Amino acid sequence: MTTGSCTERNSAGSPLLVVIRGNSGSGKTTTAREVRRQYGARGLAVIEQDHCRRVILREHGGGGEDRVAPGFITTMARAALDGGYHVILEGILHTGQYGDHLRALLGEHPGPTACYFLDVTFDETVRRHLSREEPIPVAPETMRGWYAGQDLLGVPGEVVIPEYMGFQEVVTTILHTSGLAEASALTPCPTRCAYCAQEAADAYLPAKAVGTAPRAQHGASRDRVAATTTGGCTGPVAATGGRRHAGLGRDGHRRTGAPLHRRACRRDDRNREGAPQGDRSGVG
């Protein structure tokens, strides 16, 4: 491994900028996501080249200087850094198209920076590509056309990670040599976020208390919303402000319990009305 380290600058409290590059199939995206998972806290943004270019912009790769993706992606990274986010920017990010943009981004950032290149042979990239749970429908011949060897940026402290390093070793190396392992979150969420403070408070409450007493601190307005969105149903689901009834948990992710709750409410309504459970036709 070509050793290097995080480039330090005189910028106390500035967010970290980490760039992870490599050829298709080298493990960039999986590595970046695992680094964020192990970082754990909020305040770390992962910007994926493929998602920005293919999904957000729907722009083909390659091309000339009129391509939007290079400027778009580095502008997104700058905005996140300006907002206090530590940033991981990952992708193939060929130097021919992205080099000038990346060097400018790294050079202008007042905080610490770290740059990594996952150096994996072509045959190994094909093997890793085929072992994915959902491989991209692309032939090895096409991948060979994308392969650019050791396509380095040539910036100070750039680290070349060889393919013989295991996945967890790569993740640990990036976490510690970049400084992310010791970096605290700097963003408003979680440092000044009421929801994050409530989540932290809930984590210290006994299991039986979570979902009852803390919810009451959010005020009567939430109770009114709960009564409206749950159709008058009561209990733990109603106390969440209707999110569970809508299929969403406290973190905004979809949950599977909502349909069961709706069926339970309908059964309760029929019981209160005295409707026969075995006869739903309305015929006596």
Q: Phi-psi category of 255—alpha, beta or left, where left has phi over 0 and alpha has psi -120 to 50?
A: beta
Q: Pick out the chain residues at pLDDT < 50.
A: 10, 210, 212-284
pLDDT of residue 266: 47
**Coil, strand or helix at 245:** coil
Domains of the chain, residue spans: 17-187, 193-273
CATH 3.40.50.300 fits 17-187, yes or no: yes
CA distance 244 to 253: 10
Predicted confidence at residue 246, as pLDDT, reads: 39
- Nearest CA to 91 out of 139, 49, 151 is that of 49
pLDDT of residue 179: 96
Q: Which residues contact 22 (CB under 8 A, 6 or more apart)?
A: 28, 92, 117, 118, 119, 120
pLDDT of residue 162: 97
Residue 81: DSSP 8-state: H
* Predicted local distance difference test score (pLDDT) of residue 237: 32
pLDDT at 228: 37
pLDDT given for residue 208 in this prediction:
52
Contacts for 116 with CB less than 8 Å, ≥ 6 apart: 18, 19, 20, 21, 158, 159, 160, 161, 174
pTM for the full model? 0.70
Q: Give the model confidence (pLDDT) of 189-243 as tens digits.
A: 999 999 999 988 988 886 555 454 444 444 444 333 333 333 433 333 333 333 3
What's residue 204's pLDDT? 83
Q: What is the reported pLDDT for 207?
A: 57
Torsion-angle region of residue 84: left (phi > 0), alpha (psi -120 to 50) or beta?
Answer: left
Predicted pLDDT of residue 216: 41
Nearest to 180 by CA among 188, 191, 171: 171
